[in-house]
Amino acid sequence: MEWYHYLSDFGAGLFLSNFVPHFVNGISGNGFPTPFAKPPGKGLSSPVVNVLWSLLNLVVGYLLLRAGNLSCQDTLSLVIFLAGFGLLSVLMAKRFAGKDKA
């Protein structure tokens, strides 16, 4: 595989990781920070905005997966995908840990 396939796999991990909290909060009827909140990334966006933002992340993540030719038989591509997924997951956990605190 070419280097850009691995970059696409990493990006897919990032976008698919970002899909999860926005989708879960959105379909649960909870507000959650998005880039469209006021202030951006700190205020809470509506559940509908979160679902729409999550679906955009899902589409972009899927397209990057396709571009990256992710394969379970290619251990390196799988590790790189999971590294992207895990990295953003940990960063979001730290960033949003106090979102409900005043």
* Contact (Cβ atoms closer than 8 angstroms) between residue 37 and residue 50: no
97 or 13, higher pLDDT: 13
Q: What is the three-class DSSP state of 38?
A: coil
pLDDT digits 0-9 by tens, 34-69: 999 998 878 899 999 999 999 999 999 999 999 998
Supply the mean pLDDT for the chain.
92
User: Which tokens sit at 101?
Assistant: 């605190």
Residue-range domain boundaries for the chain: 3-95
| Residue 91 in this model has a pLDDT that exceeds 80 | yes
Task: Give 97: exposed, middle or buried? Use CB within 10 Å, 0-12, 13-18, 19+.
Answer: exposed
Amino acid at 29: G
The whole model's pTM is what? 0.89
Q: What is the mean pLDDT of residues 89-100?
A: 84
